[in-house]
Amino acid sequence: MNTEQESSAALHVLVCPDDTFKEDLSGQKQCSACTECDPGLGLKEKKSCTPTSDVLCKPLDGFFCSDSRRGRCRAAQRHRLSCSPGQYISQRGTADEDTECLHCTDGTFSNGTSSCQPHTTCDSVGGVQIQPGTDSTDSTCIKYVAIVFIIIGCICFIILLVLGEYANQIDEMRVRAYLAEGPEWQTY
């Protein structure tokens, strides 16, 4: 290439006005408007637009690229902050991928925001299991002390019922005895 052709090529690149570009190798004949990295689409600028190349966008922090063409991110989505109950976050999201969730293994549970925890063994906390755990809930235990109070409460309730019934029977016997003797105002 001679110097006249080089300076003609350099002038050809400079013909594009600000905020436009024309890629050297693309074969395009006109300048194109530079792409905007729209924060509303979850994007920010990675590399500025030049007269020979379009802007490169990347996801905002906390986002991942959800629409990419020829290595250019065109739209992004916010990372999941938690998983569904019964799952845990196995991999935090990156600029290229969303947060990855996996199911808890047998004998563990998660509400979706934390790692999977083993189910409580009720014996170890001095209690009895009244409901087994699931992948999203812990075992439900009732402590032995609570069981004793429930039993004592039931026994007291039964005693009060029996005593109340006994008192009613005594009252009925007094009324019958009184009626059998007759009223005092009767004359002889």
pLDDT tens-place values along the chain, 188 residues long: 555 555 555 544 457 888 998 876 666 778 889 999 999 999 999 999 988 889 999 999 999 999 988 888 999 999 999 999 999 999 999 999 999 999 999 999 998 877 899 999 998 888 889 999 999 999 999 887 767 778 888 888 998 888 888 888 888 888 777 777 765 655 55
Q: Which residue is it, tokens 């014996």?
A: 123
Q: Which residues, in sequence order, are bridge partners of residue 32?
A: 21
| pLDDT number for residue 26 | 60
Q: Which residues contact 60 (CB under 8 A, 6 or more apart)?
A: 39, 42, 43, 44, 76
Query: Which residue type is seen at 94?
Result: T
| pLDDT number for residue 154 | 87
| pLDDT number for residue 34 | 93
| pLDDT number for residue 13 | 46
Cα separation, 175 vs 186, whole angstroms? 18
Q: What is the pTM of this model?
A: 0.57
Q: Which long-range contacts (CB under 8 A, 24 or more apart) does 59-68 make?
A: 59/95, 62/93, 63/95, 64/93, 64/94, 64/95, 64/96, 64/97, 64/98, 65/95, 65/96, 66/42
| pLDDT number for residue 12 | 46
Task: Report domain extents, the chain.
Answer: 1-78, 81-118, 120-181
For domain 81-118, give the CATH number: 2.10.50.10
CATH of 1-78, one of 3.40.50.720, 2.60.40.10, 2.10.50.10, 3.30.450.20: 2.10.50.10
